[in-house]
A and B are shown apart, each in its own frame.
Chain A
Amino acid sequence: MIGLTGRKKKRRDGATTDVALRCIGVSKSFGETVAVQDFDIEVRRGQILALVGPSGCGKTTVLRMIAGLEAIDTGRIEIGGKLVASDGRHIGPDRRSVGIVFQDYALFPHMTVQANIGYGLGRKGRAERVEEVLALVGLEGLGRRLPNELSGGQQQRVALARTLASRPDVLLLDEPFSNLDAGLRERVRAEVREILKAAGTTTVFVTHDQQEALFMGDLVGVQVRGRIEQVDVPERVFHRPATSVVARFMGTADFLPVDTIDTRLVTEAGPARAVPGFEPPEEGPLEVMARPDDFVLAPSEEGQGVVVDRVFQGWAYTYEVELNSGLRIHCQMPHLLTIEVGVRVLVNLRRDHPQMFFSNGSAVPEVPRYGYLSDRPATGSPGEAPGGAV
């Protein structure tokens, strides 16, 4: 929050309109339950923000507050530089220029596809715009169908088209692929990303699926128990998590206690490697984070671990190894090597890249929670094509 407000002041004179959506310190409680707490975000025009978190973390509430379907308790929300919600101010959803695609699409069952898409448009130029958007989502010729005559994937695209038709400043997608089966989902999400990029629409996209967030987002925001843990480009959220909560949520991660002996960092799985100039904290425990591919495994009578489980994944095996201390770790090894359960193994951390260290749940050295903001005002953030509606 501090970082954001500070930035905002600095940017006052500059191009604020570049920011399509800004939330500052937004909170919301339902009775005793705190759904969202101190939510901060800044999304630039044309960017896709993927908001990911376990179910019940308040991400849908965030979408509904941005859309104006829920009032906020504290904080402020700006859309396209215009204040739409703050303490005591609430602009209704019909006057916000946001579009929302619901989890189960909420298509109007009594209207044709055309009528659904044209629903939010004025009379003038409606037919042309409907055709245009139908073409954009690849549903030419299906305009006269009723929603229940379409497949799930097609209904999804109609919902998207209906929302895109009125060119909203911000598009909100609530778990849009959760009603599709696995095979279809991968194809549809690639199509949707292409459509959104072609339309140049600023998007906030909510999901509980990490893979989906990494694939869809220009930015990935991790929300846990109503709070934003980290927002950054997908690569950094995955490889440089700001907290151990983010690290665990974004994929399998093991944490090994580290002993500092002189300048060496020693773990039960051998020495760990830090970035140059790394300084361990003065006090408190230090842990190193390891993803399954950060370990090397070899059968050995002298090894410090025993294989307790093995999961075949086609291209690789994932072994669960119990170290002498009782700690269990996960290592992924190519399928060329097969180790049976019960075999003693020697486990070592890979030395070819520096690892991430954590103390009391936070990264050491500290990783900024809003790392993407320091990329500015460098020209454009990754994979972004601002402006230009269709």
Chain B
Amino acid sequence: MTVQRAMDAGITAGPGAIWTPRQLLPRGLRREPLSLWLVAVAIAGAAALPAVYLVVRAADSGDTAIDAILDSDTAGILWRTIQLIALVTAGSVLIAVPLAWLTVRTDLPYRRAWAVASVLPLAIPSYVGALAFISAFGPRGLVQGWLEGPFGINRLPDLYGLTGAAVVLTLLSYPYVFLAVRATLWRLEPEMEEASWTLGRSPWQTFRRVTLPLLYPAIGAGALLVALYTLSDFGAVALLQYDTFTRVIFNEYNTAFNRAGAAALSLVLLGVGVTLILIEASARRRARYYSGANAARRKRRIVRLGRWRWPASVFSGAVTLLALGVPVFVLAYWLVRGIDAGESGLFDWGAAYNSVRYSLAAAIATVIAAVPISVLSVRRPGLLSAVLERFSYVGFALPGIAVGLGLVFFGIRYATGIYQTAYLLVFAYVVLFLPVAVGLIRASLMQVNPRMEEAAMSLGRSRINAFLTITVPLVRPGLAAAGIMVFLLTMKELPATLILGPFESRTLATSIWSAAEEAFFARAAAPSLLLVLASAIPMTFLVLRERSTT
């Protein structure tokens, strides 16, 4: 027995014996256990469920579904959606790239504070942002009220429609590009730019021909997130009355009770999402850059702005003022007014309790579901693990409204027991946010040298024991980050919650929504502020931590 174990561990290799590294491993280590694969397959299958039931539902209705696509001005909706995506993505890149460069590579005053402030708009749900903008800049809004008296202006440019939706969504989603570009700027090897200078190129030529092209992959990745965010957004486009897919689908389902039509349009929506992902993936394949292995060796070069400091500060300030200042100010204004007027029921504690409950459950369930897929895709790269990973990405391309609808069809037909309960809702959250958790956990798993786990096993620990005592503690920050992210995203999630939420069980998101629909600003203010604050605190923590590790 002992001899066998020693043999397995390669310890008793006699003179002249040649062991390949693979043979040196204990036997059990040479393959991942079958059970892990089965669990991962089950999770990936479950993640694909909503998409599958959308297809099933649309196929069942046959001609009705095709008619729905042909009748309901699908081309118009598609065109409006694409216009919005193009504007928001372009606007985000134009704001985020200069902002990222200013906060990483220049002596912009208070650049750390600007960096944090530039990320925080992510904490604002789109329906809260839209609500604040309507209240501030809409007809009979706060700004117009101020201008009417002294200046006699009684008409502001129309906020509703494409312009308003594009502005609001750009201000709320540019941080995705900002974060990606910033991370790459930190990692960029200073030698790359120095080489360009010593080859006789000016700083501006160097930026245009070396630095900027090296940022393209990060810009692409960030832009993809912005585009998918815009595609899946329901709250802002609904409040600003701009008919994209999500708004039309919701109306078909909710007011016209046209379920086949809603399912058919959801499929088109899924198609757009997949197309966006494919475009980004093919762009990335062409750019097979490597990331600098030994960056951070030398302190990065800081560009002195000189007299350009003032326009740069004004730019950063304007972005923060619009994206962060306006919503926070408007919400605080309405809260104070509501309290002054002595209105009751400003704050719904039951809704807050439900939000926290559902979000906590979603965070835990999503992280647990993400671990097997992440482990297999990092440790066993191959066709099957790649397919599993792709399946888990369904929530990435499928907006919340479509996931909600898919699960409604599934629930009504096969799972009436859990239909309209919190279980199905939490399941929807898991499907939606699994990609986020897998991404974060994968990234931290890749930092862990698999040899460490193997060393633990060669010291006599079992596979599970080695994983729990070595790998889990090392990836704990990644697990925590994934849990926090899912928690935040769930707190903000609106369309799936509207469709799947149990009767009479309000959450912060749904109570803000019903107040906003009736333009009852004072009632929306308190839950909105709470939601923003609850998201902003952990988000600040995540941003600060990211900087200390890069």
Taking a contact as CB atoms under 8 Å apart, the answer to whether A148 and B290 are in contact is: yes
Determine the distance from Cα of A93 to Cα of B196 in the docked complex, in whole angstroms. Answer: 9
Residue B199 at the chain A interface, CB threshold 8 Å: yes
Q: A94-B202, A102-B191 are in contact. Are A148 and B196 (CB under 8 A)?
A: no
Taking a contact as CB atoms under 8 Å apart, the answer to whether A94 and B198 are in contact is: yes
Residue B192 at the chain A interface, CB threshold 8 Å: yes
Q: For the side of the interface on A, what is the size category?
A: 20 to 34
Residue B519 at the chain A interface, CB threshold 8 Å: no
Scoring B residues 275 to 302 as 1 if CB is less than 8 Å from chain A, else 0, what string do you get? Answer: 0000000000001111001100000000
Determine the distance from Cα of A148 to Cα of B191 in the docked complex, in whole angstroms. Answer: 17
Least Cβ–Cβ distance between B188 and chain A, in angstroms = 11
Taking a contact as CB atoms under 8 Å apart, the answer to whether B195 and A146 are in contact is: no
Residue B544 at the chain A interface, CB threshold 8 Å: no
Residue B321 at the chain A interface, CB threshold 8 Å: no
Taking a contact as CB atoms under 8 Å apart, the answer to whether B198 and A67 are in contact is: yes
**Which of A50-58, A106-114, A194-202, A271-279 lies at the binding interface?**
A106-114
Scoring A residues 329 to 356 as 1 if CB is less than 8 Å from chain B, else 0, what string do you get? Answer: 0000000000000000000000000000
Taking a contact as CB atoms under 8 Å apart, the answer to whether B198 and A69 are in contact is: yes
Taking a contact as CB atoms under 8 Å apart, the answer to whether B199 and A162 are in contact is: yes
Taking a contact as CB atoms under 8 Å apart, the answer to whether A93 and B289 are in contact is: no
Residue B310 at the chain A interface, CB threshold 8 Å: no
> Closest A-chain residue to B292, C-beta based?
A104
Q: A146-B288, A148-B288 are in contact. Are A108 and B198 (CB under 8 A)?
A: no
Residues 95 to 121 of chain A near chain B (Cβ within 8 Å): 95-96, 98-100, 102, 104, 106, 108-110, 119-120
Determine the distance from Cα of A106 to Cα of B297 in the docked complex, in whole angstroms. Answer: 14
Residues 199 to 228 of chain B near chain A (Cβ within 8 Å): 199-203, 209-210, 213-214, 216
Residue B71 at the chain A interface, CB threshold 8 Å: no
Residue A27 at the chain B interface, CB threshold 8 Å: no
Taking a contact as CB atoms under 8 Å apart, the answer to whether B210 and A166 are in contact is: no
Residue A380 at the chain B interface, CB threshold 8 Å: no
* Chain A hits for B197, CB < 8 A: 68-69, 92-94
Q: A94-B202, A106-B189 are in contact. Are A100 and B214 (CB under 8 A)?
A: no
- Please tell me which one of the listed residues B199, B213, B214 contacts residue A120 in the complex, with CB atoms under 8 A apart: B199
* Chain A hits for B288, CB < 8 A: 146, 148
Least Cβ–Cβ distance between A80 and chain B, in angstroms = 15
- Please tell me which one of the listed residues B196, B287, B293 contacts residue A110 in the complex, with CB atoms under 8 A apart: B287
> Closest B-chain residue to A95, C-beta based?
B200
Taking a contact as CB atoms under 8 Å apart, the answer to whether B201 and A106 are in contact is: no
SS of A interface (majority):
loop
B-side interface residues, number (CB < 8 Å):
24
Taking a contact as CB atoms under 8 Å apart, the answer to whether B287 and A93 are in contact is: no
Taking a contact as CB atoms under 8 Å apart, the answer to whether B199 and A106 are in contact is: no
* Chain A hits for B192, CB < 8 A: 106, 108
* Chain A hits for B196, CB < 8 A: 108, 119
Least Cβ–Cβ distance between A373 and chain B, in angstroms = 28
Q: A109-B289, A166-B200 are in contact. Are A93 and B194 (CB under 8 A)?
A: yes
Determine the distance from Cα of A119 to Cα of B200 in the docked complex, in whole angstroms. Answer: 9
Least Cβ–Cβ distance between B185 and chain A, in angstroms = 16
* Chain B hits for A203, CB < 8 A: none
* Chain B hits for A93, CB < 8 A: 194, 197-198
Residue A163 at the chain B interface, CB threshold 8 Å: yes
Determine the distance from Cα of A93 to Cα of B202 in the docked complex, in whole angstroms. Answer: 9
Q: A106-B189, A110-B214 are in contact. Are A120 and B200 (CB under 8 A)?
A: yes
* Chain B hits for A108, CB < 8 A: 192, 195-196, 210, 214
* Chain B hits for A95, CB < 8 A: 200
Taking a contact as CB atoms under 8 Å apart, the answer to whether B201 and A102 are in contact is: no
Residues 103 to 146 of chain A near chain B (Cβ within 8 Å): 104, 106, 108-110, 119-120, 146
* Chain B hits for A120, CB < 8 A: 199-201
> Closest A-chain residue to B201, C-beta based?
A94
* Chain A hits for B293, CB < 8 A: 104
Taking a contact as CB atoms under 8 Å apart, the answer to whether B294 and A100 are in contact is: no
* Chain B hits for A92, CB < 8 A: 197
Residues 501 to 523 of chain B near chain A (Cβ within 8 Å): none
Scoring A residues 50 to 85 as 1 if CB is less than 8 Å from chain B, else 0, what string do you get? Answer: 000000000000000001110000000000000000
Taking a contact as CB atoms under 8 Å apart, the answer to whether A68 and B198 are in contact is: yes
Least Cβ–Cβ distance between A152 and chain B, in angstroms = 13
Least Cβ–Cβ distance between A339 and chain B, in angstroms = 29
* Chain B hits for A119, CB < 8 A: 196, 199, 201, 209
Q: A109-B214, A166-B200 are in contact. Are A100 and B195 (CB under 8 A)?
A: yes
* Chain B hits for A162, CB < 8 A: 195, 199
* Chain B hits for A102, CB < 8 A: 191, 194-195
Least Cβ–Cβ distance between B203 and chain A, in angstroms = 8
- Please tell me which one of the listed residues A69, A100, A106, A109 contacts residue B290 in the complex, with CB atoms under 8 A apart: A109
Determine the distance from Cα of A98 to Cα of B201 in the docked complex, in whole angstroms. Answer: 12
Determine the distance from Cα of A102 to Cα of B194 in the docked complex, in whole angstroms. Answer: 9
* Chain A hits for B290, CB < 8 A: 109, 148
> Closest B-chain residue to A172, C-beta based?
B198
Taking a contact as CB atoms under 8 Å apart, the answer to whether B199 and A166 are in contact is: yes
27 sample A-B contacts, Cβ–Cβ < 8 Å, listed by A number:
A68-B197, A68-B198, A69-B194, A93-B194, A94-B198, A94-B200, A94-B201, A100-B194, A102-B195, A104-B191, A104-B294, A106-B191, A106-B192, A106-B194, A106-B195, A108-B192, A108-B210, A109-B289, A110-B216, A110-B287, A110-B289, A119-B201, A119-B209, A146-B288, A148-B288, A162-B195, A166-B199
Q: Please name 14 further chain A to chain B contacts, defined as beta carbons within 8 Å, in addition to the given A92-B197, A104-B191, A109-B290, sorted by A numbering.
A: A93-B194, A93-B197, A93-B198, A94-B197, A94-B198, A94-B202, A100-B198, A104-B293, A106-B192, A106-B195, A110-B287, A146-B288, A148-B288, A166-B199
**3 closest A-B pairs by CB:** A120-B199, A106-B191, A93-B197
